[in-house]
Amino acid sequence: MHDSLALDLIYLLAFWLGGLFFATAPFAVVHLLAARKTRAYANKTSQEVECGAEPIGDAWIRYSAVYYLYALIFVAFVVDVIFLIPVALVYDRAGFPIRDLVEVLLFVGILSLVIIYAWRKGLFEWHRKPKPR
């Protein structure tokens, strides 16, 4: 019994050292790979950008609302997939196949309303603005 306790302590120490290594290794790698010359060295401390490159144009540009609507549609599809994959893996394990099918169909039906709404609003029709000449 004493040998198994010693073996357990060795495993515990090994996992603790492994966790400590994985927690501190990124900091060590960043310290080794970090740039040694900073913005203060290049006299660019009054510049608004962090990358050190000279900015071109204004930082404030307008995005069309279509981008945000596409993002919402994407989120709806991702939520759908994230929910449906685990459900498909455990389908009929609890012994209620009809209830499970109704729940899945109800969920997919509600999420399909997002697609119908976007279709009716004309979201899938991309209208490009003509380039000024």
CA distances from 93 to 11, 84, 87, 96, 100 (A): 36, 15, 10, 8, 10
The pLDDT score that the predictor gives to residue 114 is 78
Segment 6-26 shows an average pLDDT of 94
Per-residue DSSP letters for 59-95? S--PPPHHHHHHHHHHHHHHHHHHHHHHHHHSTTSSS
Residue 27 confidence (pLDDT):
94
How far apart CA 65 and CA 73 sit, in angstroms, is 13
pLDDT over 80 at 20, yes or no: yes
pLDDT of residue 81: 82
3-state secondary structure labels for all residues of 92-122: CCCCCHHHHHHHHHHHHHHHHHHHHHHHHHC
Q: What is the overall mean pLDDT for the chain?
A: 78
Q: By percentage, how much of the chain surpasses pLDDT 70?
A: 74
Where in the chain are the domains? 1-61, 65-121
pLDDT of residue 129: 66
- Using DSSP, state whether 43 is helix, strand or coil: coil
| H/E run at residue 8 | helix 2-33
40-76 pLDDT, tens per residue?
555 655 655 556 566 666 667 777 777 777 787 788 7
Query: What mean pLDDT comes out for the span 71-98?
Result: 79
Mean pLDDT value of segment 10-38: 89
